[in-house]
Amino acid sequence: MSEQAEQAARKTGREAKRFADSRWFEVTARAGYVGSGVVHLLIGYLAILLGFGNGSSGSETDQSGALQQVASIPGGVVLLWLVAVGTAALMIRLAVEAIVGGRSDSARAWAGRLKNLGKAIVYGVIAYSAASYAVGAGKSSTGSTRSAAAKALATPGGVFVLLLAAGVAIAIGVGLVVIGCRRSYRKDLVRPPRDLDRVVTVLAVVGYVLKGLAVAIVGVLIAVAAFRSEPDQATGLDGAFDALRSMPGGVFVLVAIGIGFLAFGVFSFFRARYARL
């Protein structure tokens, strides 16, 4: 890269960082945590309903099901757009931090960049899904997952692609459990007042651990689909919750995971206030 091009890239990076650090953009990005909290609350609510046998027929208990529930209520489209804009702003903020936020080339700095990039992808998916449902073009995530699995299994080496996806999902799930157990999320938060600190800690630990368990189960189901060459086995959270419900004692685990998503949703509201941005 020439010196002129390098200087131009640095200038662009500084401008992007200045834009992401603006007050109005920070407020919008914090709203992204609120939007994420709403989605997690709805997923938890739907999972608990499914556990008690009160799930609506044809209703999915995952992100797409949650957004579909939002779209069906009065004013839901407006709320979906607020979720989409907030999570999109948070995605941009995290992406900028991943690209130009670190000044060190140490392994820890690169790990931080990759972490921010992963978070940006997650919030980008939520933003895209919310916007899709807002314009009436939302699709079932379970159907999309099965379609992608079927295409992968129909191509040479597709089994290995599914196994890689399963490994990533399991790793993410384990990572969430570790974050909750070690309370390492605290480094991304401004310490709340003492009277709230215990509440936030309980919500975060319960939310991270049980959400991580759910994501790991999704990875296991994808791995089963790969080994059996059955794309119908590859599902998202909706399929994982259904699988749990059909197991002996699985209803109790499903309800516990639903409570975990509720806890993570409430934690996300506190995160909107105390996150380091």
- Of the candidates 100, 161, 88, 92, the one whose C-alpha atom is nearest the C-alpha of residue 131 is 88
Please give the Cα distance from 169 to 162 (Å, whole number): 10
- Enumerate residue ranges in the chain where pLDDT < 50: 56-58
Contact in structure between 168 and 219 (CB atoms under 8 Å): yes
Q: Which residues contact 175 (CB under 8 A, 6 or more apart)?
A: 212
Q: Is the pTM of this model over 0.85?
A: no
pLDDT of residue 57: 43
Sequence letter at residue 152: A
Q: pLDDT digit string (tens) for 81-97?
A: 888 888 888 888 888 77
Q: pLDDT digit string (tens) for 193-214?
A: 888 999 999 999 999 999 999 8
- Of the candidates 215, 262, 218, the one whose C-alpha atom is nearest the C-alpha of residue 243 is 218
Backbone angles phi, psi at 249, to 5 degrees: 75, 0
pLDDT of residue 51: 82
